[in-house]
Chain A
Amino acid sequence: MAVILELAVQGAQMFSVLLLAPLLIGFVRKVKARLVRRQGPSVIQPYRDLVRLMRKEVVLADNASWLFRVTPYLIFAATWVAAALVPTFATGLEFSWAADLIVIVALLGSARFFQALAGMDVGTSFGGIGASREVMIASLAEPAMLLIVFSLALVAGATQLSTVAAFMGSPEVGLRVSLGMSLIALVMVAIAENARIPVDNPATHLELTMVHEAMILEYSGRHLAMIELASFLKLLLYMSLISCVFLPWGLGSAGTGAKSLAIGAAAYLGKLAVLAILLAVFETAVAKMRVFRVPDFLGAALMLALLGTLLLFVSRSL
């Protein structure tokens, strides 16, 4: 009986991230629109877009291969699995031990690998330019992310997200400079990974500036819907990650009853709303940078993460 309940909670998390992700995007877009005094589409517009895309036919380029057709589902599946394994409203779920933070980051890496390949499949220059810039950004963002994992693991003694979240919620953490550095670095990495301003612009279709959009330019119909949904899930994943590690208040824990889970869910929604508003404000306030400024941006994230790790050693020995 207990196993069934735990599976049900895990299943609830899996499907709730899937259902929430478009809403989160809709909310961010709405806030951004309101900030520039536009009415903006309804917050449920992303759902409508996804349904419309799924019902349309797919237009494939003449020489698109099987890889091009399989990739959207692979990207979606890898991102969904990763997003479902990050604690959202509760820690210690049935399958949370199947992957630690490094695995989750690597799963996103798998999704990106296939996305870049699909970008090159048709053989147009847009796909190539998008893929080559994407891997350049990833090759700097991934080491930064791993150094962030290091400093978190140094503090919490684990890479298992449930353990990290439980530790960060306990009073023995205190205020640490290196955690602050990790947070800033994580936010920078999250911006780059999610192709948000100032690294990339999710709304642009100007060929010379797009990165993510260039890779998926050839996609249409249900394939495009899958890729869009995966990118929504990825944003939700990073927001869940930031909130479970750096804002662990109110997190429920598996097996502690319905009340704590309900509190966890309410707290989670609140955290997502705050982070979404912050993202919208930030994106409205800054301008997109040139592609070759991105290495500086991510290099700063890398250095911050490394400094955070080194500072931990220093502060421990004092």
Chain B
Amino acid sequence: MNSTVALLMCGPAALLATALLAAVVGRRASATHLIYGAALIISAALFVIAAGHLARNPEAASAITLPLGLPWTGARFRLDGLSAFFLVVVNLGGAIASLYGLGYGRHEATPHRVLPFYPAFLAGMNLVVLANDAFSFLLSWEFMSLASWALVMAHHGDEANRRAGYIYLVMASFGTLALLLAFGTLAGPAGTYVFDAMRTAHPGPYAAGAVLVLMLLGAGSKAGLVPLHAWLPLAHPAAPSHVSALMSGIMTKVAIYGFIRVVFDLLGEPAWWSGVAVLLIGGVTAVLGILHALMEKDLKRLLAYSTIENIGVIFASLGLALAFKANAMPSAAALAFTAALFHVLNHSFFKSLLFFGAGAVLTATGERDMEKLGGLIHRLPVTSFVFLVGCVSISALPPFNGFASEWLVFQAILRSPELPQWGLKVIVPAVGGMLALAAALAAACFVKAFGITFLGRARSAAVERAHEVDRWSLAAMAVLAVFCLLAGIVPGFVLDGLSPVTLSLVGDRMPVQMAEPWLSIVPIAESRSSYNGLLVFAFIAISASLAAFFIHRFASHAVRRGIAWGCGFADAVPAAQYTAASFAQPIRRVFGSFAFRARETVDMPAPGSLDPARIKVDMHDVAWEIFYQPITGAIDFATERLNHLQFLTIRRYLTLVFLYLVILLLVLALWP
């Protein structure tokens, strides 16, 4: 069955052709519709093909070798269950982002800086997922990184965006370097760069450990694992909003695909400690990511930090799957792995939705700073409703989809007592506590995001002039909101679709879910745990409407409007409302001292003075200070020293050359 992958390869080719076309016609007024329309059609087609493969014959892998790239290797591409699932994620996200772009792209001041790179970015992500040898994987990966970098730099007039782009470029190069080393280790001395050969050659324990660490560095830096996350909250918000949605919702998933492909597929049997490492990093990432998000007042940066949290949840679940797999508990591993993949899909839905919503707010008001917004629920009724759906979903609240996948993660955690190793037994419940903390903080964070942005009174004149955005954008957001609800109330449908992937990678699958009565999901056994999102949703809907109906019918339905109660001292200025910073203040006081080394200083005027009192909060990104500053400091130091080499006399240069030659010959002579 080579026809499917050949058909799929036409997609990236068509996207690249669209990119070339965009480079030519990008400045024309009609180009926006043309390019996003083409991207929408191609992505939708790719989605249909991949979903069809996943539904019909997921066991069948189809491969193709194209005579591209280096002459003696060629470029190999392959479609199997895992690639098909990630193709579904990439292209569904891509199609909806293109739909959004049809409307949002019209507000773009410099479309020729966005349009050529947008389809190229989509093509890069598709190629990474399909690649079947290290060479084409790395090439596609680097292409994806560069295309997204170009999109981050679309508005390079802004100093902050230039800095974000620079840091992104450095971190992306670092990540690719780590991946290169990982594939080099996997290929071994024979240099077999084809994935099929890597799959059969099992590296020794040290090599496998090295590959795991390198993958955590390489894929982790792209996905945003702490402490490699520093670029992410700078770069993701800098791009146009639909691209931010793609970077946060989809590209991080491509990084996770890379991690899964290498660690679960190519590396063979994992060691149990690899599970510990991934679990701990995932848990810490989840908590720190969401704490940073809570402190943020820029809406898009808040969303980017919350991506870090979700990546942490996914990695923790993957670590759990590794631990179970290493201990030959395939059914538990299947549960944890399915939970991770389900959260991948769910996060792609609600994160795209939220970034689209942030984009709509940006279009309507020109503001990203939440402390200048407020009261938008009156001006943008549809946007605020779908944004609310996204907030509820991402906060892991039933009956929406975020809860369904986090519930599965917790069910997987509850199987940890069966693990034999003491380290794992103790660490898994602790990580479970961290994930629960992250989920609760996420709810707090999105109460803040929605409450400050959409509720309350308008904090600036821009809000009062705001109008609802165009229909394309609203349609894209509405589709995603429906997906969030559907995946939450009938999760069994998705879980059954994932079973071939888990079967091939961890050797078992979850029980068939669609056969359960009333569409509930039962991960292990009904007496143990079960969840029925549909029934919970129906119960809530019915009892809420019944209560409203009876009260309005039999008690009272009178409404009177009045001014809000302000203790007899109504604050007339909207700026005096609770702000993002004041909302986060209690949580900052609880967690800030160790998470950010936060310090508050209150500057009181002297008695009798009429000057205002000031409060100043100092917060530090600890990861930045511990990991990045020493490295940049060392590089600065080294370059400063080496700079002297530019100003030597010719005699000294000759001496240096001579010394170098002597050392080189010595090394060659002494080499065993």
Shortest CB distance B288–A (Å): 14
Q: A117-B451, A131-B583, A313-B425 are in contact. Are A150 and B531 (CB under 8 A)?
A: no
Closest to A112 in B: B443
Report yes or no: B590 in contact with A150, Cβ–Cβ below 8 A. Answer: no
Task: Give the residues from 109 to 166 in chain A that come closer than 8 angstroms, CB to CB, to chain B.
Answer: 109-110, 112-113, 116-117, 120-129, 131-133, 135-136, 138-143, 145-147, 150, 153-154, 157-160, 162-163
The answer to whether B455 touches A120, judged by C-beta atoms less than 8 angstroms apart, is yes
Residue A268, interface by CB 8 Å: no
Min CB gap B424→A, angstroms: 11
A 6-63 contacts with B by CB, 8 A: 54-63
Which of B79-87, B131-139, B325-333, B571-579 faces chain A? B571-579
Q: Smallest Cβ distance from B531 to chain A, in angstroms?
A: 5
- The answer to whether B520 has its CB under 8 Å from any CB of chain A is yes
Contact A81 B590 (CB under 8 A): no
Name the contact of B432 in the complex, choosing from A77, A150, A221 (C-beta under 8 A).
Answer: A150
Shortest CB-to-CB span from B533 to chain A, Å, is 9
**A110/B392 in contact, CB under 8 A:** yes
Q: Do the beta carbons of A313 and B547 come within 8 Å of each other? A: no
The reply to whether B565 and A218 contact each other, CB–CB distance below 8 Å, is yes
Interface residues of B in 588-615 (CB under 8 A from A): 589-590
A170 to chain B, nearest CB (A): 14
Bitwise, A285-318 to B at CB < 8 A (1) or not (0) is: 0000001100100000010001001100100100
Contact string against A for B residues 2-44, beta-carbon threshold 8 Å, 1 for contact and 0 otherwise: 0000000000000000000000000000000000000000000
Do A146 and B433 have beta carbons less than 8 Å apart? yes
Given the known interface contacts A57-B558, A80-B543, the answer about A158 and B529 at a Cβ–Cβ threshold of 8 Å is yes
B213 CB–A CB distance under 8 Å: no
A263→B547 CA distance, assembly (Å): 31
CB pair B444–A138 under 8 Å, yes or no, is: yes
A95 interface residue (CB < 8 Å to B)? yes
Stretch touching chain B among A98-106, A244-252, A253-261, A276-284: A98-106
Question: Is A139's CB under 8 angstroms from B531's CB?
Answer: no
Option from A98, A106, A160 in Cβ contact (under 8 Å) with B528 = A160
Give the Cβ gap from B227 to chain A, nearest Cβ, in Å: 23
Contact-size category for A: 35 or more
Chain A residues contacting B417 (CB-CB under 8 Å) are 154, 313, 316
Residues of B within 8 A of A125 (CB): 566, 571, 576-578
A78 at interface by CB-CB < 8 Å? yes
Residues of chain A lying within 8 A (CB to CB) of residue B94:
none
Residue of B nearest to A151 (CB): B429
A121: chain B residues at CB < 8 Å are 377, 451, 455-456
- Pairwise interchain contact A98-B535, C-beta atoms closer than 8 A: yes
CB distance from B593 to the nearest CB of A (A): 11
| CB atoms of A106 and B403 under 8 A apart | yes
Contact across chains for A160 and B530 when beta carbons are under 8 A apart: yes
B576–A160 CB distance below 8 A: no
Contact residues of A between 68 and 117, Cβ < 8 Å to B: 73-74, 76-78, 80-81, 95, 97-100, 102-103, 106-107, 109-110, 112-113, 116-117
Q: Assess whether B564 is interfacial by the CB under 8 Å rule.
A: yes
The interface size of chain B toward A, counting residues with CB under 8 Å, comes to: 86
- Contact for B531 among A98, A117, A123, CB less than 8 A: A98
Central interface residue in B378, B403, B548, B586, by most chain A CB within 10 Å: B586
Q: Is A77 touching B455 in the complex (CB atoms < 8 A)?
A: no
- Report A42 CB to chain B, min CB distance, Å: 22
Chain B contacts for A143, CB-based, 8 A: 433-434, 436-437, 440
Within 8 A of B (CB), among A200-242: 207, 217-218, 221-222, 225-226
B444 near A139: Cβ-Cβ < 8 Å: yes
Q: Most chain-A CB neighbours within 10 Å: which of B410, B518, B578? A: B578
Q: Bits for B541-557, please: 1 = Cβ < 8 Å to A, else 0.
A: 10111011001000110
Which A residue sits closest to B579, measured CB to CB?
A128
A98 to B520 Cα, complex, angstroms: 7
- Any chain B CB within 8 A of the CB of A67? yes
B622 is an interface residue with CB less than 8 A from chain A: no
Name which residue of chain A comes closest to B560, CB basis. Answer: A59
Q: Are A77 and B540 in contact (CB under 8 A)?
A: yes
Chain A neighbourhood of B563, CB < 8 A: 61-62
Enumerate the 4 nearest inter-chain pairs by beta-carbon distance, A residue then B residue, closest first.
A128-B578, A123-B456, A57-B558, A120-B451
Chain A residues at the B interface, C-beta cutoff of 8 Å: 54-63, 65-67, 73-74, 76-78, 80-81, 95, 97-100, 102-103, 106-107, 109-110, 112-113, 116-117, 120-129, 131-133, 135-136, 138-143, 145-147, 150, 153-154, 157-160, 162-163, 207, 217-218, 221-222, 225-226, 291-292, 295, 302, 306, 309-310, 313, 316
Residues of B within 8 A of A (CB): 374-375, 377-378, 388, 392, 395-398, 403, 407, 410-411, 413-414, 417, 422, 425-426, 429-430, 432-434, 436-437, 439-441, 443-444, 446-448, 450-452, 455-457, 518, 520, 526-532, 535-536, 539-541, 543-545, 547-548, 551, 555-556, 558-567, 571, 574, 576-578, 582-587, 589-590
